[in-house]
Amino acid sequence: MFTVAAAVVSVMSLALTACAQSDSGVGSGDREAAYKRVIKDPHPSPDAVIEAAGAPAGVARAGDGSLLLSYNARYIGDDEGPAAAAWRIVSPAGLTVAQQAWHANVEDQPDQYIGVRDGFVRWHRSSRGAESAYALDVRGKPHKVSASDRALGTRPGDIVLHEGMPARFYRPANRTVAAPAGAPEYVDFALDERGSVWFVDQSRMPNRVVQQRDGRTLTSMPMPKPYTSGGAVTAAGGTTALALLRGGTVRGLMVTADDGAHWRNLTGGGIPWQDLKRDLVFLVLRALPDGRLLVGEREGRYWLADDRSNRAFHQLKTPVPFTSFTVQGKTLYGIADATTATYDLVKGEGLYASDDGGRTWRRQGKRG
């Protein structure tokens, strides 16, 4: 799931750079006024949007380590009206390479971004259902992306662009966006290194875990009783896992490490499943490139497997509470932002990264 793409929309707090202004005597009323000016501006500047949005909504990482940080600023407490959005590309050295901002509408879905070997891909779907996509290289130069008018069989190297509603993947080889052939139009799905699509068929009971490649079904396994699935699935490093639900809440995982030949239920391993009480939309489930699983709840706690056997997990220690969490390659990224609509700042607000499995964290996003 996720993708950076699917990153969480940043709620309306102010940027880290505004902290200095707050310390120097600028009150929340002044910040609110500045925020409202940004979202009403027909031609907002990137700096203004980034300062208004606060922590980034999402992060995407290119092959060379460059980051694309996306930002959204929207009306607080209103699902209609103007909005503003921006992206900023930061080099591996932490310098701002390129940035762009634009006026938007609250009704539109936030843009989705994924990192690819030579840059980033942006996917947008308007409130009327129109889709568009383009690629950016690490210098911020745009490149055309083609949209296939038919579903395509997946191959090695394909990347999940949008996990569901609608399901879309990106093919770097020819810069094409398409729906995965054989999968439902609206489904959470994962792609592994072999080009297999994994998803849960919820059209019948019991639900079935389906593996397809190039549009052909390879395996189909029924969910174990008494569990159902909300569809959350992840695959990488030879591991595929999906959430087991009981009574509408997550109570474990169904895991395979041999391409679907054998499955096992993970209902322990050091994760207090009985304490996970949030809706499935808050679940964080990611497979790292080495096959280890990351499990947690947005705005809550997170656990990482000790090794690729995924039988024992340890809770991650984070420098501040994270409101969203994702994995880009071997790097963990956590975002601290306001969890409720507010103009006030959040302690430690911003983006954090860890390259050693969460043992140490560094703060990202300093301007160059």
Encode pLDDT of 2-40 as tens digits.
333 333 333 333 333 333 333 333 345 676 787 889 999
Q: What's the confidence (pLDDT) of residue 302?
A: 95
Q: What's the confidence (pLDDT) of residue 34?
A: 78
Distance of alpha carbon 189 from alpha carbon 163, whole angstroms: 6
Q: What's the confidence (pLDDT) of residue 299?
A: 81
For tokens 């932002």, the residue is 337
Q: What's the confidence (pLDDT) of residue 229?
A: 84
Q: What's the confidence (pLDDT) of residue 5?
A: 34
* Spans in the chain with pLDDT lower than 70: 1-29, 31, 76-79, 339-345, 365-368
Q: What's the confidence (pLDDT) of residue 181?
A: 94
- Write the DSSP symbol of residue 105: E
Q: What's the confidence (pLDDT) of residue 228?
A: 87
Q: What's the confidence (pLDDT) of residue 258?
A: 95
Q: What's the confidence (pLDDT) of residue 231?
A: 82
| pTM of the shown model | 0.86
User: For residues 14 and 51, is the Cβ–Cβ distance under 8 A?
Assistant: yes
Q: What's the confidence (pLDDT) of residue 278?
A: 73
Q: What's the confidence (pLDDT) of residue 344?
A: 66
Q: What's the confidence (pLDDT) of residue 345?
A: 67
* Long-range contacts of 101-104, Cβ-Cβ distance < 8 Å, separation of 24 or more: 101/44, 101/45, 101/46, 101/48, 101/49, 101/50, 102/44, 103/41, 103/42, 103/43, 103/44, 104/72
Q: What's the confidence (pLDDT) of residue 365?
A: 59
Q: What's the confidence (pLDDT) of residue 19?
A: 36
